[in-house]
Amino acid sequence: MTTVSPVDTDAPDQFRDDLAFRVDGDTVRAWHYPGRGDNFAGPQGRPVVVMAHGLGATKDSALPAFAERLSAAGLDVVVFDYRNFGDSDGQPRQLLSIPGQLADYRGAVEAARALPGVDPDKVIVWGVSFAGGHVFNVAAEDPRIAGVIALTPAPDGLAAALQLTRNQGVAHLARSMRVGLRDVISAALRRPPVLAPIVGEPGTIAALNAPGALDKHLQMAGPTWRNELAARIFLQVGNYRPTRRAKDVRVPMLMQIADYDRSAPPAAAMKAGVRSRAEIRHYPCDHFDVYPGEAWFEPVITHQIDFLTRYFGTQE
């Protein structure tokens, strides 16, 4: 059973407040960026965007730039770390649990709804990469979700696994599976996780190893990010297919696809976007080229603000 309760913390800077809530007894830590101006202020409060990162990434890795722009436009924003990662509690560290992350996302949504000045019926779930798959499940299961933004999403683990096999070869896939199996055995023996890199050079055993991915990820990495995660995820990700819930998403959705994405297959994202009747935007770039400091960050955030203004803005 997931329980959510607020935890008092201090404000880190002038644009955001610390926020924390509990999921299954662990504290999940987040940042709340209050909306500024009146562009989204309605009689019941402001819309709130609940923002989550991708595979093993932490909230301090590039997400503040997105949150600050949305906050400056007038929206409240909540950015959180999953349990076992970053500032959030949870053991063992660096263990990625897909059900656990979905529970954390639901907890973040409930915490956002309880914020002062927020309209609880105008929650927009925002996910990038792996979380761009999570948002399909969260929106499909919660009828009060009002909108969805999926940035360079990975909504089909099987498609990602097949792309990795085509690019790296069957032998590479087999080596990854062996490392994952070692971690599963370690867990069964109550030993610490067998860790593997989140991102690495091409040909190395890592969750992401497309050309250029390591350098790009290191450029955006925040101080709490660690380049490692429990390797059992290698055995699980192929079975994680939130695209199956795409047809159940019945709210406005913006899908932003990097057409040359070598980490999250764009064709799979496109199929999920069509099934969910999403507004689809295309960018001629790779997976990590949409982050702050990269050429496509400005078009991406501009399109997000435009989408949110059209559906949730209150000012002419």
**Phi/psi of residue 202, each to 5°?**
-55, 135
Looking at residue 187, its pLDDT comes to: 95
* Of the listed ranges 21-30, 31-40, 170-179, 271-280, the one predicted with least confidence: 170-179
pLDDT digit string, tens, across residues 5-34: 333 333 346 678 899 999 999 999 999 999
Over 60: is that where the pLDDT of 278 sits? yes
In the structure, what pLDDT confidence band is assigned to residue 3 with cuts at 50, 70 and 90? very low
Mean pLDDT across the chain: 92
Show the 3-state SS of 238-296. Answer: HHCCHHHHHHHCCCCEEEEEECCCCCCCHHHHHHHHHHCCCEEEEECCCHHHHCCCCCC
DSSP codes of every residue in 16-69: BEEEEEEETTEEEEEEEE---SSTT-BTTBEEEEEEE-STT--TTSSHHHHHHH
The fold of 6-158+240-312 is Rossmann fold (3.40.50)
Looking at residue 316, its pLDDT comes to: 46
Q: Report the pLDDT averaged over residues 76-92.
A: 97
Over 90: is that where the pLDDT of 227 sits? yes
Looking at residue 164, its pLDDT comes to: 79
pLDDT digit string, tens, across residues 94-149: 999 999 999 999 999 999 999 999 999 999 999 999 999 999 999 999 999 999 99
The model's pTM is: 0.93
Looking at residue 5, its pLDDT comes to: 39
Looking at residue 308, its pLDDT comes to: 98
Domain extents for the chain? 6-158+240-312
